Structure 1
Amino acid sequence: MFVDTGTNMRSDGVVTTEFHDQLVKRGIIEDDTPPEPEPAVKIDGRYFRPDDQIVQSSSELEEDEEEERIFLEKYKEQKMQQIKQEQKRNKFGRVFTITEPDYTKEVTEASKDADVVLLLT
């Protein structure tokens, strides 16, 4: 048995109801169908669209990609240096109590890598 549900399918594949179609037809609501993009026109090696948006040529796009890659590499290197400095800074500044058995490890061996300050009480 076939039952009409009152739905229609537009050319762009969107399903609408008859009620929605009538509202659009009578001008109560605007049609939300996206406009078809107009094709680009090639002029002097560049592509132009009727709405004056410039589409760059493939060589310019490749240059932009190269500049972006170089920027990202520099940014990555800068972040790595910041992380290393942060790790180095976090190495210092600990204050903790040690006992006689820990003295050799915590003071003598640690002083090979960095300065050690003791407060004997």
Structure 2
Amino acid sequence: MDDPNADTEWNDILRARGIIPPKDEQSKEAIEDLYVDALNARKKEEESLENKTLDELDELEDELDDDRIILEYRKQRLQEMQKLAEKDKYGEVTQISKPDFVKEVTEASKECYVVVHLFKDYIPACKLMNQHLAQLAKEFKSTKFVKIIGDQCIPNYPDRNVPTLLVYGEGDIKANIVGAVAFGGMNMTVSSIRAQLANVGAVPPEKKEDEGDKKKRSIYSSAATAALSSDEEESDNDDRGYY
């Protein structure tokens, strides 16, 4: 039997008389439109996968026959999580001593930023600084936070200069922030400390907060200051005082 879609004179006569159906053909433009639609659909599918969790990718892998792209995204997501875990490995403020300084600070700063708190236990501003740094350390686990007694780190370092923050990066010191006054004194907050550290790239800058978040931070700072008020009253204000 002749092909009814063949482009012959006889078929043209039969089509004109309605004996065979019109030739089944698509214009070049229609074919191009179908191709573009298919590309856009695939692109949309790939973009939707980028934001899915590993569990969601597993579910899609079970549902879809073509799982090659799912496996690729799963592998990519696992690699991203592994890299993030390698960076986010700190999370607390660790006390070090002078012999540890080169290894724990100078050498470590070649791979990440290191924030060093020079402190003295009896000074209330140092206690407040330690509390706030502990919170920042939990939030920014890719930045290393350590503390060391001031005159153990630098011989004869004046107590009046602590708290002091040294910021190291790329194996060298990037900033030296001396005295509590640089952070707001006893009114220092996590935000005021973060702002100083963000200026030198040790942590990301803080995003704008709504009024509710600001109120929460204010309450936290007031509570922390009140908890230290008794220590402040007992400390003397001689040459061992704080800024």
Q: TM tier, shorter chain?
A: 0.3 to 0.5
TM-score by length of 2: 0.21
Whichever structure has more helix as a proportion of its residues is 2
- Which structure ranks higher in relative contact order (CA pairs < 8 Å, sequence separation ≥ 6)? 2
